Amino acid sequence: MGVRSGKWNYECPNCNTNNKLILMGERNGTFEKICKECNSKFEVTLKDNKINILVETKKERTVKYAKVPKEYAKYDGEKDIFKKKPTRNNAKNIIAILVTISSLSGFVTGGLLMDFFSDDYNESNDIKIEIVVRNSTRDLSEATIAIDSSEVNQTYIGNGTYNIFAKPGKHLIEITVALHKKAIMQIFIPPQDDNLSLIEIDQGIDGVNRFTFIMEKGVGNINLEDTVYVKVESWCPNLIFLFSLIGLWGAWVTYNLQSYKNAQIGAFFSILATGFLIIGPILGIIALVMLYRNKKLFTASFKN
């Protein structure tokens, strides 16, 4: 660094830009300067024809924190005082519980159906049953009727109709007529009042206390279609158990927020489980509505 008639040249320590120090008769001293290029502040010391440059050290700033008013509640790490609305977990838990109750009630309904059809009803009174026997052209008046492989007393009242007495429950009916194949039908007689009939035509109710056998000519046996109650016994309890299982799966999916569509499927099948006839379906419908209103609970990381 050289001297030129009171002008000293020096370089900025930050950007290396050439700056000038102009002296008015002084030969020693300390001067505050600002770089013309980067605006850095530093001290220039001149002593014994030598320049020393000292970069200014910034003073630490004192940060003043705002004081929290005393009337504000203290924050608790475990409790959020600002959450007054139902939380995400509360909503999905309620939906999962509704679907679970609906599904479990379906298991109860299925079990009750199985008990209803499997009961032997030995203590029940005999019920008058109408058996109608005919072929494709006429009524048959000379039929022999057997219930559970045992012939029973019968009364022919005309028009191919026979009156017999039997206890409620499941029975195997066999009808034998000369020159015709033996007709076999599995029936279920539900518990009922005696002489139950349709008011307008004064006859029994088909599938309840009136059963019709259409005979075929020839030799051998024919198995006729089971009655509605027998079909219900064969299919309904198993279907109800299946629907209830799907409902429980849907409740688990909802609890874990895995899939909105699968949660809907589970809630729908919990309705089909018909738990306690109407209570289960009502709970399932409520769960479906809540699912629709809270569909955003299900995260985008899963297929919804």
What does the pLDDT profile of the chain (304 residues) look like in tens digits? 444 446 777 777 778 788 777 766 666 777 777 787 887 777 777 776 676 666 654 444 444 455 666 655 565 555 554 445 556 678 999 999 999 999 999 999 999 999 999 888 888 899 999 999 999 999 999 999 999 999 999 999 999 999 999 999 999 999 999 999 999 999 999 998 877 776 667 788 999 999 999 999 999 999 999 999 999 999 999 999 999 999 999 999 999 999 999 999 999 999 999 888 899 999 999 999 999 999 888 864 444 4
pTM for this predicted structure: 0.61
Q: Which two tokens stand for residue 77?
A: 């790490």
The confidence score (pLDDT) of residue 56 equals 57
Task: Using alpha carbons, list the distances in angstroms from residue 123 to 4, 120, 147, 169, 285.
Answer: 132, 8, 18, 11, 40
pLDDT, residue 296, reads: 87
- 160-163: long-range contacts, CB 8 A cutoff, minimum separation 24: 160/132, 160/133, 160/134, 161/130, 161/131, 161/132, 161/203, 162/130, 162/131, 162/132, 162/133, 163/128, 163/129, 163/130, 163/131
Residue 186: beta bridge partners? 172
CA distances from 170 to 121, 207, 211, 281 (A): 10, 12, 13, 29
Q: Is 232 helix (H, G, I), strand (E, B) or coil?
A: helix
